[in-house]
């Protein structure tokens, strides 16, 4: 069984259900002992911007921010596509704790050694 899991999220506030599910799955996989990485790209990068995640809720009522807090507290990598963030006018100083900018090359390397879920 593959122990590494990469969750790629390309939507953000435009689809709070999928966004929240990605964070939920990342937290659930971590709780099951998986090595998890959450990679945000396209609209998903907004979720790593300070103050945005607190307003994202799924139709079920669970909040993206609750799952994000778990990921942050447990050191789960939260990677943010560099050109996606730059094109949306934000940089490292705008990111939530535990998030960092990353490149497509890093995404490809992670994907080569992990099971991948793309939302």
Instruction: Name the phi and psi angles at 87, rounded to 5.
Output: -70, -15
42-61 pLDDT, tens digit each:
999 999 999 998 989 999 99
User: What's the predicted TM-score (pTM) here?
Assistant: 0.95
Bridge partner list, 57: 63
- 20 vs 47, 52, 104, CA distance in Å? 10, 13, 23
Q: Which residues contact 6 (CB under 8 A, 6 or more apart)?
A: 36, 37, 39, 107, 110, 111, 114, 115, 116, 117
In contact, 6 and 43? CB cutoff 8 Å: no
CA torsion, points 77, 81, 85, 91, in degrees to nearest 10?
A: 50
Q: Which domains does the chain have, with CATH numbers?
A: 4-118 (3.40.1260.10)
65-104 pLDDT, tens digit each:
999 999 999 999 999 999 999 999 999 999 999 999 999 9
Give me Rg for the CA atoms of the chain.
Answer: 13
Q: Enumerate the H helices of the chain as residue ranges.
A: 16-31, 64-73, 82-87, 104-111
């Amino acid at each position: 069984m593959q122990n590494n899991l990469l969750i790629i999220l390309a939507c953000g506030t435009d689809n709070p259900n999928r966004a929240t599910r990605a964070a939920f799955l990342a937290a659930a996989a971590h709780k099951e002992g998986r090595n998890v990485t959450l990679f945000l790209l396209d609209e998903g990068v907004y979720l790593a911007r300070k103050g945005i995640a607190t307003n994202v809720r799924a139709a079920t009522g669970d909040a993206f921010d609750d799952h994000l807090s778990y990921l942050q507290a447990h050191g789960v990598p939260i990677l943010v596509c560099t050109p996606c963030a730059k094109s949306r006018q934000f940089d490292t100083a705008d990111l939530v704790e535990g998030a960092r900018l990353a490149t497509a090359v890093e995404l490809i390397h992670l994907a080569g050694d992990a099971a991948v879920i793309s939302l």
